Structure 1
Amino acid sequence: MTVVTAPYEINADDVFVDLEPVFGVPLHVKYEGLNLAGSVKLKAALEMVLAAERDGVLVPGAVLVESSSGNLGVALAMIAAHRGYGFVCVTDSRCNPATRRLMESFGARVLVISRPDKERGLLGARIDYVQRLVDFDPNYVWLNQYVNPHNWLAHYRSTAPAIAAQFPGLDVLFVGAGTTGTLMGCARYFRERERPVRIVAVDSIGSVTFGGPAAARHIPGLGAGVRPRLLDDRLVDEVVMVPERDTLESCHAMARQGFLFGGSTGTVVSGALRWLAGRPRGERLTAVALSPDQGDRYLDTVYDPAWVQRHFGAPHTWDAAGPEKELEPAVGAG
């Protein structure tokens, strides 16, 4: 019998899904949504909170404040509720309605930014607002996921070793790029191993993280309007840029096989399929993609036909054989 005293102790870290029956391509995803926060962000959130407590930065009576598109906000809201802190999440209009309600159910205040900064987009506007809050009230504590080294350390210490233990012959790892904490933690871990592993970053078209032009994005999670300060390009072998339309199609293809994954997962899987489609015919690699989130919080967006129609036009339907037949080699791969 397993007995826990904290909600973040419920976490299955060794579940992998074989997607070859779905797409006809050898690909496993590490499913990071099997915890009460519902995403990989629980690891970084807990690591940053515990480090702030050890350093004396986070003390009783403090109010956590953070900029988040959703998943980190949910994780911090849950942790703050359990450990007795207030929490204010500064998000933007792309945040899923279900995600906002979930944060509020933990007692968090959710502030929605709707006016983007002219040069740095909604993310820049969110960061500026958080900075004004902490300047105004000394009780606010900003963990700042965008520069906090414990963001990537969480994945260096847990996520990457878990992948290596299950796939000692790993050839290529696909990781989505948001704050790049997960990407950098995994990349640093595998760079230290004797056996080379190719690290492929997956990002959304419209994100500026890897130098592309900024453009409107509708699906929260991956991508950024400001280049992440945690990012070290030298640790990334290749980059695949994914249109959001492809994110939707990957999500729906997996859902039709009973796997309801989130938008970030759809992007990473789509990027992995594109990259693998560009490999020499007959080559068989051991490939793993990181699945950051569940799909239940996307029921009002990614899985809502009216929302999809409004933002992307009439949905395209993949057949049962999977979308890999129509994919071209990866865009943006080096």
Structure 2
Amino acid sequence: MPVISASHEFDVSDLFVNLQPFFGRRLFLKVEGFNFAGSIKLKAAREMVAQAEAAGALGPGSTLVESSSGNMGVALSVLAASRGFKFLCVTDSRCNAVTRRTMESFGAEVHVITEPHETEGFLGARIRHVKALLAADEKKVWLNQYLSAGNWMAHYRTTAPAIARQFPDLNVLIVGAGTTGTLMGCARYFRERRPGVRIVAVDSVGSVTFGEPPATRHIPGLGTSVRPPLLDESLVDAVVHVPEADTVRTCRELVRHGFLFGGSTGTVVTGALGWLSEQYGDGVGGVSDQVTAVTISPDLGERYMETVYHDEWVRNSVGSEGLAQGVGSVRAGAEFAAGLEAVSG
């Protein structure tokens, strides 16, 4: 057992859940929620803060500012408390109350944007607010997770190598797309070292990341209303878009097996199961049993008690179909194919 003196030093990096007993598919889930920030975002936060400190941009008297739908804000709140600098998070009304209170408990100041930008949604409105804060105070420093190389580099250095060590026979890596830091870091690593591994991105319906039309989204984490500057589509072999009702159904199926995960996990597991079924079929004992696939769970489910796991919220936000039992991706093949977009890579 490690002995630490700073909260950001602890992170469980080698925990995987075998989903085959539940879903009949050789799919493994890398669990990233066991650290003091509660999510995979702690890795990128550490890397970006270290780069800013090394460059002299972040120092005594600085106030760190970042736009976040939740998890990056919590991760930077943890780092700020540990390292002794101030932090201001710009989030929006989709960020749940538990996450906001968590950031404030660590001493962060939280600004909540309540009106989306007319063409760039809540993310566009948040970024404009950040830029206004920077213009008004030269001591405020923006890491800019949407553009910082530290965002993808953290996963190139940590997440991808951990997967490679555990699964020397890996065939497919399936990664959720938000800022695309995790996706790009893992994709670059495997393109360089194991180019035969297929990289599949999972996005939410309504996200513009891969050129789809914008639509209202209720679950924070994956998806964007502004195309991420970090994204390089040449590193991605296929893209799956998942409706939020399916996300909820898969989260609730997982919790029936004793695993309480966050909304992004429901999305990536849904997308992974659907894509694998589309590519390799459902037959037991066939080629599908020879394919090793890994996907990544960004966080656990405690912060989603009033959303994904709250029946009234689900009915009002994503519809009553989100309450139906069963995995979200178990749909007719033609229906699933309509949400599947292949891209070159």
* Partner Cα distance (2:195, 2:144) in 1: 33
> Is the contact between residue 45 and residue 75 of structure 2 (CA under 8 Å) also seen in structure 1?
yes
Deviations 1:65-97 (A, max 9, x none): 000000000000000011111111000011011
Q: Give 1:317's aligned amino acid.
A: A
Distance 1:8 1:131 in 2: 28
- Does the CA-based 8 Å contact 2:246-2:329 persist in structure 1? no
Q: After superposition, what is the alpha-carbon deviation per residue over 1:169-194, rounded to whole angstroms, capped at 9, x for unaligned?
A: 10000100000011000000000014
Checking the alignment, whether the CA contact within 8 Å between 2:63 and 2:85 is kept in structure 1 is: yes
What displacement does 1:333 show?
Answer: 3.2
Structure 2 counterpart of 1:287, from 293, 299, 308: 293
How many equivalent pairs are there? 332
1:24-45 Cα offsets, whole Å, 9 max, x none, are 2221010011111111100000
| Per-residue deviation, 1:162 | 0.3
Give CA deviations for 1:38-67 in whole Å, capped at 9, x if unaligned.
111000000000111111000111111000
Which residue in the other structure is 2:86 paired with? 86
Q: Does 1:312 align with 2:318?
A: yes
When normalised by structure 2's length, the TM-score is 0.94
Runs of 4+ in 1 over 6 A off after TM superposition: none
The gaps in structure 2 that reach 5 residues or longer are none
Aligned-pair distance for 1:323? 5.5
Matched, 1:333 2:341: yes
Aligned to 2:146: 146
TM-score in terms of structure 1 length: 0.97
Matching residue of 1:31? 31
Provide the C-alpha distance between the structure 2 equivalents of 1:90 and 1:115, rounded to a whole number of angstroms.
Answer: 13
- What SS class does the counterpart of residue 269 from structure 1 fall into? helix
1:302 positional shift: 0.5
Displacement of 1:317: 2.8
Shift of 1:279: 2.0
TM-fit CA distance, 1:195? 4.8
Q: How many Å separate the matches in 1 of 2:208 and 2:68?
A: 17
Counterpart for residue 167 of structure 1: 167
Cα RMSD (Å) of the superposition? 1.2
Alignment partners' CA distance in 2, 1:90 and 1:176: 22
**Paired residues of 2:245 and 2:319 also in contact (CA < 8 A):** no
2:271 alignment counterpart: 271
More off after superposition, 306-315 vs 75-84: 306-315
Q: Percent identity?
A: 60
Q: Which runs of 5+ in 1 are unaligned?
A: none
